[in-house]
Chain A
Amino acid sequence: MAGKKVFGLNQINPASHALEHKEAAKVAVFGLASDFGCQVQMTNIERELLDVLGMFELVYWQLVSSAPLPEDFDIAIIEGAVCTQEHVETLQWIRERAKVVIAIGACAVTGGIPGLARGNVDDFAKRVYGDVPASCGSMASPRPVSDIIAVDFTVPGCPIEPLELVAVLQRALMGGNPEAGGRSMCGDCRLNEDVCFFERGRICLGLVTRAGCGAPCIKLGYPCNGCRGLAASANLDSARDIVAGYGLDVADFDARLQIFNKAGQDSSRS
């Protein structure tokens, strides 16, 4: 069918583009409080990464380059939770410059694991450090990035699925909207022909967790731990009734949900 014209990318209204195409969009990658696992994930897709980077100019990424932080960039990729006043200021500085902000990973999207210290950060700091060193900065209760600045796209998960980031970068570059979703995960497990953990007498957070990962953990024999955060449609009351209906501990279900949801929700979640 070569030669047959179809409506492709060229037909998209240029006015809808978030970025101008005259020169390659400049991408900067920032890390707040995290273990850099999601940034490492980005390096794990070497083949795709080279292709993707052909569409962008990577101007700042401390993990792979010692180039200094530039004043000028178009797309900011932010990993990590907001845990200090310096983080807050960094985010504000980024938002003033970036046309598109992408939060990646559970820490940036929901507060993630650092978020467990939400509301109790002084106690946690004392437990970890004893005397808290000055280099920790002025610590603040952990928060997701979207608590501080507007976020255009999110890539949830702990760690992220890097190809999901590739798809988001393409949307950012070409002027697409964030993918609409909202559903929780059980449909993916049925699609995978996996048997439900509840039928095996075990709690699984897939009931309320944002779908989109394809449920790899369940395929490998582990119940969902909710790393993508709550689905926009999460029905916690119904989920608790279901847990109780299987004779399982609702308090245990709620405690497990805290691991990735204590600090907050992705306000832009879909």
Chain B
Amino acid sequence: MLFRVIDKNEVPSLVRGFAAHYEVVGPVERNGGFAFDEVGSDPSRLRVDYDTTLLPPKKYLFPPKAELFTYDTVNNEVKDIDIPVVPRVLFGLHSCDINAINRLDAVFMASDFPDPYYRAQREATMIVGIDCTPNDHCFCNLWGTDEVTQGYDLFLHDLGDRYLVSILSVTAAEILAVATSARPASPKDSIDFQEKARAFKNSFSSGPAVYELPILMDAFYNDGLWDELGDRCLSCTACSMVCPTCYCFNMVDKLDAGGRSGARLRLWDSCCSPSFALVAGGHNFRPTAASRVRNRFYHKFLGYLSKYGNTLCTGCGRCERACKAHISPRVVIQGLQHKAVQSDAAAQGEGGRS
């Protein structure tokens, strides 16, 4: 790793430096919130002070709706497989979202069945991270995803009037050198950075401490907690739509109106959708909202962890905002911990743990 320092007013110049070679996407204002959008043509739209975005940057690597190939139904053959790739810089991503992309990379790139569509776009994508200011819904600190150590090309650490830039890629370093007057970090820059990092760690709203979550998940698999949450769930799938790590999809064949040709589409799906586990013949493996909510959190906290070594949640807080029924990772963690205390009390009442 390498550090350089740039002044804050050099950000538009850095964006233009990238824009000469790449499409540049960053946070802009939209509908009273923020959304990732193309900013290379007009860096003044970039809002590096955003708190969070409506959808995560995942949409640029794993689009909500992707045409995988087209086919001819008359001759029964595949017509065209087009893997669209846009050389792109995702500018201004927070730690939670870069950590989320690292989780997706593990699934789509490093797994036994790498996904050619994801991989092609990911390899053509650079990431520039930036410090954030947590809002009330942020809980990345619970998972340690308030810091990111890989997966980005540059990371801009806020030092007030300037950024300390962590550099992980040669290409990005060259663009930084050409587009800005980046200078080596001074001892004062390093000291300021350490103080800033300490202040950042203390800036989160208090939340539950996470301890032994996999054991709690197992212990309370059949607990009424899931029914309580299921009773509230609207089965609207908002949680998955805004999630930076959800990667389930559905495959749909869309025929043209005359039925002579068609396209195979990949669409975002959600395990909270009532039809997600519906199979041919009409059986639904998860017919109740309670079973679907439980499945969602089991995969987040246990299933993914056992395969990839991480929790499939980076604490970005989007689902907590999106869920009108107040179902969120923090609610589940608190609920499980409450159940643990209750069950310990009951065991004590019976004269000790069994």
A residues at B contact (CB < 8 Å)? 1-6, 8-10, 47-49, 51-52, 54-55, 166-167, 170, 173-174, 180-191, 193-196, 198, 200, 206-208, 211, 231-233, 235, 237-239, 241-242, 270
Contact = CB atoms under 8 A, between A and B. Distances in A.
Given A191-B241, A235-B233, 18 more contacts: A5-B77, A6-B77, A8-B77, A174-B259, A180-B278, A182-B273, A182-B274, A183-B236, A183-B275, A184-B234, A184-B235, A187-B241, A188-B241, A207-B234, A211-B236, A238-B231, A238-B234, A270-B275
A188 to B, nearest CB: 8
A47 to B, nearest CB: 8
Interface string B303-326: 000000000000000000010110
A207 B238 CA distance: 10
A227 B244 CA distance: 31
B98 to A, nearest CB: 20
Contacts of A55: 258-259
A191 B278 contact: no
B79 A2 contact: yes
B55 A193 contact: yes
Contacts of A189: 238
B31 interface: yes
Contacts, number: 139
A187 B325 CA distance: 13
Contacts of A174: 259
A241 B73 CA distance: 49
Given A166-B257, A186-B324, A235 B235 contact: yes
19 contacts: A2-B78, A3-B77, A6-B76, A8-B71, A52-B257, A166-B257, A167-B255, A170-B259, A182-B274, A183-B237, A183-B270, A186-B322, A190-B238, A193-B31, A195-B54, A206-B236, A233-B289, A235-B235, A238-B233
Interface size class of B (residues with CB under 8 A): 35 or more
A239 B235 CA distance: 11
B101 interface: no
Contact of A1 (B76, B81, B240, B272): B81
B184 interface: no
A183 B80 contact: no
Q: 4 tightest A-B contacts by CB? A: A182-B274, A187-B237, A186-B236, A51-B258
Contacts of A184: 234-236
A22 B191 CA distance: 81
Contacts of A6: 71, 76-78
A1 B78 contact: yes
B234 A208 contact: yes
A2 B77 contact: yes
B242 interface: yes
B268 interface: yes
Interface in B75-92: 76-81
A170 B234 contact: no
B234 A235 contact: yes
Interface in B53-106: 54-55, 64, 69, 71, 73, 76-81
Nearest to A187: B237
Contacts of B231: 235, 237-238
